């Protein structure tokens, strides 16, 4: 249990997808105009990560790893398919995203309208593929750990995007120099938030 | 339908627009992740720009040729397969001809798959236009992307390590450690400074091009 809490805290704060690895930046910057849409986007990312990381974990353990196919019989003991992991992971992610897109379109057309072009882009949100690759690299031992890690890194993204959206809503009342308004100041705010999050890096769990 | 020449005014605009008015990084907000991750030095940035240039223009043409055949429900998967295939191709070519750079870039070449500039242009342009136009759009956007990448990498490498393409540019005797006046800004190598550099670039671009200024 303690181990799971550690994985979660680590994924949210210390190894935050956005601030520590700068993954998932495109949707992060483009969807953070209001808190409401950013909550929708963050929720979608948490959901997709919570599904795809454990799925990819199963794929990795039972299909891709060296010797993973041994359940098929003796002959498959030394088959190593790990060179396929990129394309397999992205296929799982893309199909899950398509599913989420259909569900949101059906049940919440308003949210679908406001997420616009960026919903399909969750598939190419590098935070999603990145999490699966980190999962592979860090070799979590069972599916619970992988799920907790997926949810944790999703929550880290959620926290970051909602935080930025809140700052952007406030900054509307400030007198930012014209050419810097909008995107420019957002980059600079994100940079400063990144510098702030670097202070978590010293924590050992 | 009247025949339109490949270099008509409208088509030229497809090519030049993404360089400034509709730049992928500073205006459309696409392809940021890689722009931040690989701009510490110039060399990987140039290789990255070339790889994206190839993948984007070819993927645009292929998807545009297939645009009437792809059912819209599964278009994302089809697009990703096209992109992933091209990226694997680029990866193999880099490994064969510039092995050192490829080793340096290894992860980031794979990350072209998830570079949203490619997916974004496929979604927004190639799915609704003819192959010729899609090709020009791909070229233009890749140029716009590469341009920003190289400018950011130039400043980060120059100010962060005092080198360009790995050769020392700022004379060593200028450094404070050697009794000079120049202090190296190690901060420029850290990822947050990439964001701030791009932010400042946007500031400069919009001072020159005032119609891009956002109301808020």
* DSSP, residue by residue, A9-57: HIIIIIT-TTTTT--SHHHHHHS-SSHHHHHHHHHHHHHHHHHHHHHHH
| A81 interfacial to chain B (CB closer than 8 Å) | no
Tell me if B203 and A120 make a contact (CB, 8 A cut-off): no
Percent of chain B with pLDDT over 70: 92
Any residues with CB less than 8 A from the CB of A42 and at least 6 apart, and which?
A154, A157, A158, A159, A161, A162
Say if residue B6's pLDDT is above 70.
no
| Structural domain contains residue B14 | no
Residues of B (77-106) whose Cβ lies below 8 Å from A: 77, 80-81, 84, 88
Residue A155 has a pLDDT of 93
Residue A205 has a pLDDT of 67
State the residue range of the domain holding B204: 30-215
Looking at the partner chain, which of B36, B123, B191 has a beta carbon nearest the beta carbon of A117? B123
> Which of A187-196, B23-32, B106-115 comes out lowest in average pLDDT?
B106-115
What span, in angstroms and rounded, lies between the C-alpha atoms of A196 and A118?
27
Task: Specify the DSSP class assigned to residue A202.
Answer: G
Query: What three-state secondary structure class fits A100?
Result: helix
| B106 confidence band (pLDDT: 50, 70, 90) | low
| Structural domain contains residue B203 | yes
| B2 confidence band (pLDDT: 50, 70, 90) | very low
Per the structure block, which two tokens stand in for A120?
């399909």
Per the structure block, which two tokens stand in for B18?
């993404």
Nearest Cα of chain B lies from the Cα of A145 at a distance, in angstroms, of 24
Q: Could you tell me the CA-to-CA distances from A133 to A126, A127, B130 in Å, in that order?
A: 10, 10, 36
Higher per-residue pLDDT: A100 or B61? B61
Query: What three-state secondary structure class fits A139?
Result: coil
| A196 interfacial to chain B (CB closer than 8 Å) | no
**Top-ranked range on mean pLDDT: pick from A65-79, A104-118, B85-99, B178-192:** B85-99
Higher per-residue pLDDT: B62 or B27? B62
Averaged pLDDT, B66-77: 80
What span, in angstroms and rounded, lies between the C-alpha atoms of B121 and A48?
23
Say if residue B31's pLDDT is above 80.
no
Residue A97 has a pLDDT of 80
Rounded to the nearest 5°, which phi and psi values hold at B175?
Answer: -65, 145
Residue of A24, A116, A124, A200 to mutate, interface with B, max B Cβ within 10 Å: A124
Residue A163 has a pLDDT of 92
Residue A183 has a pLDDT of 80
| A175 interfacial to chain B (CB closer than 8 Å) | no
Per-residue pLDDT tens digits for B166-177: 778 777 777 777
| A95 interfacial to chain B (CB closer than 8 Å) | yes
| A4 interfacial to chain B (CB closer than 8 Å) | no
Residues of B (27-46) whose Cβ lies below 8 Å from A: 27, 29-33, 36-37
| Structural domain contains residue B21 | no
Looking at the partner chain, which of A94, A129, A187 has a beta carbon nearest the beta carbon of B198? A187
Say if residue B55's pLDDT is above 70.
yes
| Structural domain contains residue B102 | yes
Q: Could you tell me the CA-to-CA distances from B148 to A112, B86, B180, B197 in Å, in that order?
A: 31, 23, 32, 10
Nearest Cα of chain B lies from the Cα of A194 at a distance, in angstroms, of 6
| Structural domain contains residue B20 | no
| A185 interfacial to chain B (CB closer than 8 Å) | yes
Residue B215 has a pLDDT of 64
| Structural domain contains residue B6 | no
Average pLDDT along chain B:
79
Residue A156 has a pLDDT of 92
- Complex ipTM above 0.90? no
What span, in angstroms and rounded, lies between the C-alpha atoms of A175 and B45?
35
| Structural domain contains residue B148 | yes
Tell me if B114 and A182 make a contact (CB, 8 A cut-off): no
Using an 8 Å CB-CB cutoff, list chain A residues near B74: 98
Closest residue in B to A85 (Cα–Cα): B110
pTM over 0.95: no
Per the structure block, which two tokens stand in for A41?
């986007």
| Structural domain contains residue B22 | no
Count of CB atoms situated within 10 Å of the CB of B68: 7
Task: Specify the DSSP class assigned to residue A141.
Answer: S
In chain B, the number of structural domains is 1
Best CA proximity match to A4, nearest among A202, A142, A159: A142
**pLDDT tens, N- to C-terminus, chain A (205 residues):** 788 888 888 888 888 888 877 788 877 887 788 888 888 788 888 888 888 899 888 888 888 777 767 777 777 777 777 667 777 888 888 888 878 778 878 888 877 776 655 566 676 677 888 888 888 777 788 888 899 999 999 999 999 999 999 998 888 888 888 788 878 888 888 889 888 888 887 777 6
Using an 8 Å CB-CB cutoff, list chain B residues near A24: 33
CB pairs under 8 A between A and B: 140
Element spanning B164, H or E:
strand B163-164
């Amino acid at each position: 249990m303690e181990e799971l809490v550690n994985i979660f805290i680590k994924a949210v704060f210390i190894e935050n997808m956005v601030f520590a690895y700068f993954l998932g930046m495109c949707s992060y910057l483009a969807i953070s105009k209001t808190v409401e849409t950013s909550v929708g986007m963050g929720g979608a990312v948490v959901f997709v990560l919570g599904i795809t990381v454990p799925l990819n974990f199963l794929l990795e353990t039972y299909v891709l790893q060296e010797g993973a196919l041994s359940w098929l019989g003796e002959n498959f003991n030394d088959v190593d398919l790990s060179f396929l992991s990129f394309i397999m992971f992205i296929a799982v992610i893309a199909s899950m995203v398509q599913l989420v897109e259909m569900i949101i379109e059906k049940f919440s057309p308003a949210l679908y309208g406001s997420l616009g072009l960026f919903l399909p882009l969750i598939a190419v949100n590098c935070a999603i593929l990145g999490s699966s690759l980190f999962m592979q690299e860090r070799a979590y031992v069972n599916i619970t750990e992988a799920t907790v890690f997926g949810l944790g890194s999703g929550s880290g993204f959620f926290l970051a995007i909602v935080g930025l959206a809140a700052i952007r809503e406030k900054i509307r009342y400030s007198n930012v120099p014209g050419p810097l308004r909008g995107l420019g100041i957002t980059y600079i705010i994100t940079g400063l938030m990144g510098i702030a999050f670097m202070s978590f890096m010293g924590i050992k769990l | 339908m009247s025949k339109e020449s490949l270099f008509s005014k409208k088509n030229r605009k497809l090519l030049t627009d993404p360089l400034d008015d509709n730049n992928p990084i500073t205006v459309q907000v696409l392809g940021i992740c890689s722009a931040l991750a690989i701009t510490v030095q110039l060399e990987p940035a140039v290789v990255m720009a070339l790889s994206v240039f190839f993948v984007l223009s070819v993927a645009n043409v292929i998807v545009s040729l297939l645009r009437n055949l792809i059912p819209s429900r599964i278009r994302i998967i089809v697009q990703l397969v096209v992109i992933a295939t091209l990226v694997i191709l680029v990866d193999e070519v880099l490994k064969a001809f510039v092995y050192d750079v490829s080793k340096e870039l290894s992860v980031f070449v794979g990350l072209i798959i998830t570079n949203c500039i490619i997916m974004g242009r496929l979604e927004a342009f190639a799915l609704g236009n003819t192959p010729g136009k899609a090709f020009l759009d791909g070229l233009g956007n890749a140029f716009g992307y590469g341009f920003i990448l190289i400018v950011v990498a130039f400043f980060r490498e120059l100010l962060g390590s005092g080198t360009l393409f790995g050769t020392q540019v700022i004379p060593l005797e200028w450094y404070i450690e050697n009794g000079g006046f120049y202090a190296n800004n190690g901060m420029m190598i850290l990822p947050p400074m990439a964001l701030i550099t791009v932010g400042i670039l946007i500031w400069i671009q919009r001072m020159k091009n005032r119609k891009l200024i956002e109301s808020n």
